[in-house]
Structure 1
């Protein structure tokens, strides 16, 4: 078996320490900084470091069971050892591993069973209860999928290219990819690669956007010349898709409560050649009131638990709790109620989340429709992680003329 090099081991250790013990440190930012600071590592070393780092975050609870204790600042090496023994990778059989004895871990591994479902799927106890309550028997199937590594999906920027042309352009840069049936603009990478170094990215030929997320723009049914408002635009992944679908004709108003996200959206829009996007920072209620009944189409990509995208963000399950979900549901209800006023009579809007909980999705929509009779549901779509891509919910709602 391959033995992990000591300098890589130290890097993984330090990244895990930063993720688990420093507040608000997001795993993707931590690993990005780590890899940037070790440019001497080759592509295979970088791949090993990223995989072990994310796998340990993903399987933290199960590894803690094998360790016999919770993860603490002074025992991260023991967690890495437990991972290496469990997966039978990057480890040679010695009595000790970096001063940590392995006998107790091996005893638990030989049992081949774990005592609870929460440990089996490596999620907090409260989350196992919530998923079972809301999803019934299917929750275990979804957790199996959410513990897999997410594929890298690109959206071809149709302002500049097509999905088919993008596959060819990427191949010229030694990046193999393929088209996905029933997703007109989606391209999936054969293997994980840093696509941000390619000329295709620098030329604005694509954005990284999961296939499920791309369904939202398609469902909104935007037309050239419309006024479209994206009220939770963030850094603009879906905003840019809408601009491409509208062929740069009409107006998209992108709103958010974070100015730095809108600044990133502007940078991305410039690279993509999307010229019909105007950003507006929500600093008070007047920003919303000025837009009442002004939009032909409205996108509410609501804040949510993010439980549908744990493949990509495994650290988020350790950062949230039931109190957070209860709070976010109240926020969703208020956003849907307040922002829906932006839609014109006869217009259409989408309420979407990247959650798989009915209480954040169809139950929110049902509550909204009950309290707002001038709105009617045209279509709703649920994409579960077990179908292969991120978990998303989207409801297309019309405001009656």
Structure 2
């Protein structure tokens, strides 16, 4: 039995059947296996590809199966999904090998009856790969091509128009690169690149952030001595743009209201040369411990970890901070390229339900900013209700704040909104993201 595909099947069962996070379960499963590098790469490809294109794959399966897919055994269904993915999207994997391995695995797991069913469905697909699996409506064609549920595709089209919506969906399906941020407290950019090259990594300069190194090829970066020694931190380039936009200087008092997992928190400390005081707030104590561990690795000592619900006002922090960052909990629609299950686990109700929490955090955090200080708002979603609409709501109430425009260069996926905020369309190098800088004036 093919260990590689068994590992992939078990991860898919955990993510789709039990609600596990794909990145966490995949990493754990691979690390616990004895697979070689080539097989680990194939497992990763099968898992993320199957999750990414699940809508399209299920449309194909429904063409050949005369019952609700949900009534199938989870292993049988996910084996079919993974097999269709390999046949349709992977050109280097022989079709006969995909079918044979699927039949063999399911025969051992579910018996001969299930294996015959798998064999029949897959061979029918091989004979009719060019069949019309979708209806005539334009939205059906779009959803099949990009593998998005209709409500999410329609949301992007309504908010961004057809052209930008297609860019968002295409970018969300890209295979992401790994990017690392150089820790200027311990090394220089050039030295960090040289260390990685010496250790066998293929690297290049970042796409949009001047502090970013793009990892083109190399084994697990977090096991590398440059990471372990704190010379670099793994962080998406979109997130790297936030801290440098806050106009940070040495000895400031900075609040990071929703700090976990701490990438932006430590970036703030690095820019401030480990001076001043950075308070990292989070509602989850265990996540704060991870931030503390990461800060120790980076040689940072100016971070204070504070367990707190940032949606609840605490008067002792009134106008204490020079800078306040609110990277609010959000729907995460900008992270689909790294967490493709977001396509299937989020609903329109999820998007609506989170708005109150976001606005409570905005309302509370505004009180902590000193006069003439900066309130930084960011999300990893592309839903305008959580981005532009939240800001419009906030500015209507808080006349003492105004947006200060940001500029991050001419990369084609960076959108400069009329208000001065920035929306980042996902691509190979960057997550979908939203960033806005607000200045608090002395007047009311």
Q: TM-score, with normalisation over the residues of structure 2?
A: 0.85
Aligned-residue offset at 1:265: 0.1
Q: Indicate the residue corresponding to 1:176 in structure 2.
A: 202
Selected match of 2:435 from 391, 394, 399: 394
Partners of 1:145 and 1:388 within 8 A in 2 = no
- Measured after TM superposition, the shift of residue 190 of structure 1 is 1.1
Q: Deviation of residue 125 (structure 1)?
A: 2.1
Whether the 8 Å CA contact 1:164–1:179 is kept in 2: the answer is no
Map 1:255-334 → 2, pairs under 5 A: 255-282=281-308, 288-334=314-360
Aligned to 1:83: 85
Contact 2:58/2:81 (<8 A) preserved: yes
The answer on whether the counterparts of 2:323 and 2:369 sit within 8 Å (CA) in structure 1 is yes
- Residues 212-221 or 175-184, more deviating: 175-184
Note the residue ranges of structure 2 that are not aligned, 5 or more in a row.
Answer: 104-114, 406-420
**Deviation for aligned residue 1:197:** 1.1
Q: Determine the C-alpha separation between the residues in 2 that align with 1:177 and 1:293.
A: 43
**Count of matched residue positions in the alignment of Structure 1 and Structure 2:** 395
Distance in 2 (alpha carbons) for counterparts of 1:169 and 1:347:
38
User: Displacement of 1:288 after TM fit?
Assistant: 3.2
Matched, 1:31 2:26: yes
Distance, in Å, in 2 between the alignment partners of 1:301 and 1:20 is 28
Q: In the alignment, what sits opposite 1:110?
A: 130
Q: Distance in 2 between matches of 1:285 and 1:382?
A: 24
Aligned partner (choices 181, 188, 194) of residue 162 of structure 1: 188
Pair 1:58-2:58 in alignment: no
Query: Does the alignment pair 1:234 with 2:254?
Result: no
Any conservation in 2 of the 1:162–1:185 contact (CA below 8 Å)? Answer: no
Residue 19 of structure 1, CA deviation: 0.8
Aligned residues of 1:152 and 1:192 also touching (Cα < 8 A) = no
CA distance in 1 between partners of 2:437 and 2:266 (Å): 19
TM-score, normalising length from structure 1? 0.94
1:146 to 165, 169, 172: 172
**Offset of 1:346 from its aligned partner?**
1.0
CA deviations 1:126-148 (Å, max 9, x no partner) are: 21221222121121121011101
Deviations 1:54-75 (A, max 9, x none): 1111111111112225364032
2-side partners of 1:283 and 1:397: how far apart?
A: 22
Shift of 1:193: 3.2
Corresponding position of 1:67: 61
Distance 2:132 2:178 in 1: 32
